[in-house]
Amino acid sequence: MRLPVEYVPQTTTSRRPLAVWLILLAGSLFFTVAIIGAPLALTRSNTATAFIIYEAFSHLCHQLPERSYYIAGQKFAVCARCTGIYSGFVAGVIMYPLVRSLRRIDAPDRKWLFLAALPLALDFILSFLEVWENTHTSRLLTGMILGAVAVFYVIPGLVDVAINRLWASERQVSDPVNSGRSFATAPSDYSAPHRRI
């Protein structure tokens, strides 16, 4: 018979959700600043830095000059649509704690993600079919919508991994009755009311 040897509190003061948010904010800001940093590096004759940034983004974006914004006579590291996705993602990360608790690990219904992608898809398809010509502005705005909404699926997933998966070993306690073997304590169901019976 296994005996409980350590009290497991029903609430947590873990700062991991905040840490996940701060890391994601820093990372997304870094990527967004790099988009403008590449052309600015070129204007300052820092070609090595510019090359590294352009090369890194070349694996994520087609980087077509005619579909990109320019600053100081040099094109951004990504196209207008990708600029929208990245900047929308940053805006979504910044706004997320004002709209939703960082501790929530449930994602919204997937239909909202598909609805957010719909304007982008229509902008692309209608232009491809030559029904209308999309612009830098339409690409930027439709990308921003998708980027901002994607945050509401990324953050809960990362918080879930940070709390329930990566540090699951911290919930292991020693069992003196069973020769030092360990067993996992049961997590509280109070953090996830939708899972209660």
pLDDT digits (tens, 9 = 90+) for 77-105: 999 999 999 999 999 999 999 999 999 99
Report the C-alpha gap between 99 and 47 in whole angstroms: 41
Amino acid 18: pLDDT: 94
Of all residues in the chain, the percent with pLDDT exceeding 90 is 73
- Residue range(s) defining the domain that contains residue 35: 16-166
Average pLDDT rounded to a whole number, residues 116-140: 94
pLDDT in tens, 19-63: 999 999 999 999 999 999 999 999 999 999 999 999 999 999 999
Rounded to 10°, the helix 80-99/136-160 angle is 40
- Residue 176 located in a structural domain: no
**pTM here?**
0.77
- Residue 97 located in a structural domain: yes
The pLDDT of residue 11 is above 80: no
- Residue 74 located in a structural domain: yes
Question: Which of 6-15, 85-94, 187-196 shows the highest mean pLDDT?
Answer: 85-94
- Residue 175 located in a structural domain: no
- Residue 20 located in a structural domain: yes
How many domains does one find in the chain? 1
Report which residue type is found at 101: S
- Residue 144 located in a structural domain: yes
Say if CB 29 and CB 52 are below 8 A apart: no
Residue 115's closest CA among 146, 91, 90, 92?
A: 146
- Residue 99 located in a structural domain: yes
CA 146 to chain centre: 12
- Residue 114 located in a structural domain: yes
Tell me 109's DSSP state. P
The pLDDT of residue 124 is above 90: yes
Centre a 10 Å sphere on the Cβ of residue 102 and count the other Cβ atoms it contains. 18
